[in-house]
Structures are given as structure tokens and as C-alpha cells.
Structure 1
């Protein structure tokens, strides 16, 4: 990993640091979301409070089931160990909920304490969470690297003016 001019590294969680077996087709079916639509945007747009809460609970159940079995990805562990050796600050930005994220981090002893979930900032591809971390680190976004595995990760990094690396 080329860290030239990089002063801090932000990781996605699922599919980047830890494995994920979330079945988004089934999740969308469970909440009535069209398969070609972002599930979080769909649920956010639900106007009936009861229906929205039920959809959020269904998503949470899927995430918690996935959290119990998530294990380090070998490349994810290698990247974190590499960044630790370079003594750069690290963070995680995930579209996951805080509860499932906490389980995954604790079960795998991921040594990253700065974590923003969808409860902390608008979900990716919105760049808000990435920019919040750069600001907290007092770094220009151009000196931060965002590492992820999905198009939303690339879009969020580009929207934030950060370099990105696709795994």
C-alpha cells in the first residue's frame, strides 16, 4: 500500500476489514425495497412511523446475525497491521449500525477506536463522516486515504476530496 503523503487512513468495515454475509436481496425483500434502490434511502423515505420502525428492526436483525459470525479478512488485518507500523491514525466509516459494528470490532479485537456508523453521520456515499474524521485529525482531506470495497466507498472518498483504495 503506497502511503506517500498519507497522514491518516479510514477504512470501510464490511468486506474490507471483516467478512460480511449480509444478503441484501433478502433484506430488501424483507422491507419491501425495490432491488435497484438503496435500502437505507428507501427506509429513510418511509413516512409511516410504524412501518419505518419495523423496517429498521428487520435491517437490525440481519446486521446482528451477520455480526455474530464476521471474522477478520486476511487482507484487512494485514492493512491494519501495516498502518500500525507506520503509526498513522486510523478510523472506520461504515453504513452498518453501531450495535453490529461494535460486535464485529470486539469479536475480532480490531484495534481502531474512532468509528462512525450511520447513526453518527449520513451514510456513504455522503462524505460527511469522512470529512468529520479529517477535521478531528486536523488533516486536509487530500492527506487521508479511504479504503473500501464498494462503489459507495469510492464515491464518498471522491466527494470528500480524499484518495481511495479499492480492495
Structure 2
């Protein structure tokens, strides 16, 4: 049996799965709930934030009640489940996972609810490849915070930091990886946005079939 030498963390949406989540609609729904509940100003530039960042702003207002947070996260989860119901795999993902699973601990780190992630990965036939699936419930703060990175690493303390890799499509994935002290492999994504946010990928990947060669370099 081949010794597992790597810790490999995957983002899910637009990395493993072609996301159908309406992120714009999700952000708008969160923003509207915040305005109605007096958690932010009506002129807030909500399009410049992720849904999780908007929720963090609501917390920072000091006015967020448990009831309000439950309602807002409920709206987020509705968009997640609707978007993932029709999600399909990114090209070459099954072959890539089959190639890598003997060489590393394969994990998923997503800002989505863990139950929704498990459901989507199971429906698309790849859940069995992963040693661990972490959702927002496992983080103290969502990506771009490195909280989830550190949580996943703590599940495999025998894997040294230099052997960890995070593969994702977004600047928030890259920021989480950098602040967590591990390498970031950018899968497609908006390169200009990453540069603007100070994210410097270790490598850029256009096709998942390229990943195995980079992991073993």
C-alpha cells in the first residue's frame, strides 16, 4: 500500500462541482434581511462582499439576534441546496481523485453547510474518495479566514505543513490558504481579482488532469 504523504484540501463549488448556486441572489437576500432588521445601512455596497462577509458585518453591528442569524443562514442554505441539486462534476474530477487518493488525505473545505456538501458529493458519486468533509459548522470563521484550514490540518497532525495543499477557484480560498501557511493551487478563477486581493497562487491549473503532476513535484 502506498503511504499517504500529502494533505490535499479541495474547495467544492466551481472546483469539484460546477456550481449552480445563485451567489448574487444569495448576497441580495442576505443584504435585504439585514436592512429590514436594521443590521446595516440601506446604501451598503453589498455586491462587494460575499454572503459570509455580510453576515460577519451584521454580527459586528452588535444588533444581530440569534433569531435573525437563524433566518439569514436559512436563506443562505436554501440557495445552496437549490444550486447544488443540479450541480455536475468539473471535467476530469473522478479520474483525478482516483489517481490521488492513495497518495494523500483528500478533504473538502466549503463555506456551505456540511450536510448540503455531503449530499451533493454523494449524488455526484465522489463522496467516497474523501477522508474528511468540512463545512461551515467546522469553522470558527468562514473563508477567507484560515479557520477551516487549521481545523482540517488538526485532523491529520502527522502531516507536516509543507505537505498541505489547497485547491480552489476563488480569492477567498487563496487567502485562507496563505493565512493558514499552506500552498494554494488556483483552479481557473479570476486571476486579476486574486492579484487585487494579494493572493499569489503557487501554481495555476486549467484542467484537473494537471493536478497530480503538480502535487508530486
**Fold match by TM threshold 0.5:** yes
| Structure 2 unpaired stretches of 5+ | 33-45, 188-217
**Matched residue, 1:3:** none
Q: How much is the aligned-residue C-alpha RMSD, in angstroms?
A: 1.8
Q: How many residue pairs align between the two structures?
A: 161
**Matched residue, 1:22:** 21
Hey, which bits of structure 1, 4+ residues long, moved more than 3 A?
A: none
Indicate yes or no: 2:143 matched with 1:131: no
User: By how many angstroms is 1:78 displaced?
Assistant: 3.6
Indicate yes or no: 2:182 matched with 1:162: yes
Indicate yes or no: 2:100 matched with 1:80: no
User: SS in structure 2 opposite 1:67?
Assistant: helix
Which stretch has the larger CA shift, 19-28 or 150-159?
19-28
User: By how many angstroms is 1:158 displaced?
Assistant: 0.7
**Mapped contact 2:149–2:177 kept (Cα < 8 A):** yes
Distance 1:58 1:23 in 2: 12
Larger relative contact order (CA 8 Å, sep ≥ 6): 1
Indicate yes or no: 2:141 matched with 1:142: no
User: SS in structure 2 opposite 1:52?
Assistant: helix
Which stretch has the larger CA shift, 35-44 or 155-164?
35-44
Larger Rg: 2
**Matched residue, 1:68:** 85
**Matched residue, 1:10:** 9
| Structure 1 unpaired stretches of 5+ | 1-5
TM-score normalised to structure 1 length: 0.87
TM-score normalised to structure 2 length: 0.68
